[in-house]
Amino acid sequence: MAAAEGSHEVVVVREYDRKTDRRAVEEVEEMCQVGRTGNGKHRLSLHTHLLGDPMSRLRNSPASRMLVAEMAADGGARRQVVGMIRGCIKTVASPMFAKLAYILGLRVSPSHRRMGVGAKLVRGMEEWFRQNGAEYSYIATENDNRPSVNLFTKKCGYSKFRTPAILVHPVFAHRVRVDAGAAVIRLGSADAEALYRRRFSSTTEFFPRDIDAVLNNKLSLGTFLAVPKGSTPYDSAESWPGPDEFLAARPESWAVLSVWNCMEVFRLEVRGASRVIKALARTTRLLDRAFPWLHLPSVPEVFRPFGLHFLYGLGGEGPGAAALIRALCWFSHNLAMDGGCSVVATEVSCGEPLRLGIPHWKRLSCAEDLWCIKRLGDDYGDGSVGDWTKSPPGLSIFVDPRDI
Range of the domain at 12: 2-163+368-387
Let me know whether 236 and 350 are in one domain: yes
- What is the rounded CA–CA span in Å between residue 27 and residue 36? 20
Let me know whether 114 and 79 are in one domain: yes
Q: Who has greater pLDDT, 285 or 96?
A: 285
Burial 376-388, CB ≥16 within 10 A → b, else e: bbeeeeeeeeeeb
Taking CB atoms within 8 Å and a gap of at least 24, the contacts of 76-83 are: 79/12, 80/24, 81/21, 81/24, 81/25, 81/27, 81/28, 82/11, 82/28, 82/108, 82/109, 82/111, 82/112, 82/117, 83/28, 83/107, 83/108, 83/109, 83/112, 83/117, 83/118, 83/121
Let me know whether 133 and 272 are in one domain: no
Of the pLDDT bands very low, low, confident and very high (cuts 50, 70, 90), residue 40 is: very low
User: pLDDT tens for residues 284-314?
Assistant: 999 999 999 999 999 999 999 999 999 999 9
Contact 178, 334 (CB under 8 A): yes
Task: Check residue 6 and give its pLDDT.
Answer: 44
Burial class (CB in 10 A: 0-12, 13-18, 19+), 293: exposed
What would the mean pLDDT of 86-104 be, rounded to a whole number?
91
Let me know whether 157 and 19 are in one domain: yes
Domain count, the chain: 2
Which of 122-131, 197-206, 233-242 is predicted with the least confidence, judged by mean pLDDT? 233-242
What would the mean pLDDT of 52-65 be, rounded to a whole number?
84
Q: How confident is the prediction for the chain on average, in pLDDT?
A: 89
Residue 273 has pLDDT above 80, yes or no: yes
Let me know whether 150 and 250 are in one domain: no
Contact 294, 250 (CB under 8 A): no
Residue 401 lies in a domain: no
